[in-house]
Amino acid sequence: MPYAIRLARPDEAGLLREIERAAAQAFITVGYPALAAGEPTAAEEFRAAAAENMLAVAVDDHDHPVGFLLAAELDDCLYVQELDVHPDHAGHRLASGLLDVADAMARQRHRPALTLTTFRDVPWNAPYYARLGFVPMSVAEIGPDLRMLIQRQHAAGLDIAKRVAMRRTLPA
């Protein structure tokens, strides 16, 4: 099946919530059932990000979204807030393609790098991102906005000891 990646439209917010919900089910298998049961990103947040060109989608040959990347500007970098691919479409390198689009978004905004926070030991989290050129950030490299976001994640119940902030510097 051929896929394409494009910027999202605000009217796709509901579909993206369903993709996020479906992708989160994989966390049950690695001991995070609360993540699978959690509420997906608010539709209003998706719509706002689409209006700001901070939301990309992977689409199937019928232009139906099957994955997405939601980004935000944080500490002078482009932060990957959420990246999900529907399980029915896994294994087609869609996440990698979405990250390439995030690189382009960062360049367009004159940002030097992509950043993200993720689980250290979940195979499709930190190990996957490391294969795509992301490296763990030291405490000194974490800016104030990202530090505050990590604190909010902790307050929401995420075990910070199992999390890592990562960065992929863009080529000059």
Average pLDDT over residues 14-29: 97
**Sign (positive or negative) of CA dihedral 171, 134, 16, 65:** positive
Sign of CA dihedral 79, 100, 87, 56: positive
pLDDT in tens, 35-66: 899 999 999 999 999 999 999 999 999 999 99
Tokens read off for 20:
């996020």
Confirm if 64 and 16 have CB atoms less than 8 A apart.
Answer: no
Do residues 77 and 107 make contact, with C-beta atoms less than 8 angstroms apart? Answer: no
**CA–CA dist 152, 58 (Å, integer):** 29
Q: Is 53 left (phi over 0), alpha (psi -120 to 50) or beta?
A: left
pLDDT score of 6 = 97
Average pLDDT over residues 153-162: 91
Q: What is the pLDDT of residue 171?
A: 87
Which pLDDT score, from 0 to 100, does residue 172 have?
A: 77
Read off the pLDDT band of 10 (50, 70, 90). Answer: very high
Looking at residue 155, what is its pLDDT?
Answer: 92
pLDDT in tens, 96-142: 999 999 999 999 999 999 999 999 999 999 999 999 999 999 999 99
pLDDT at 58: 98
What one-letter code names the amino acid at 120? R
Got the DSSP string for 8-43? --GGGHHHHHHHHHHHHGGGGGGT-HHHHHSPPPPH
Helix (H) or strand (E) holding 88: none
For residue 162, pLDDT over 90 is answered with yes
What does pTM read for this prediction?
Answer: 0.95
Structural domains of the chain ordered from first start: 4-169 (3.40.630.30)
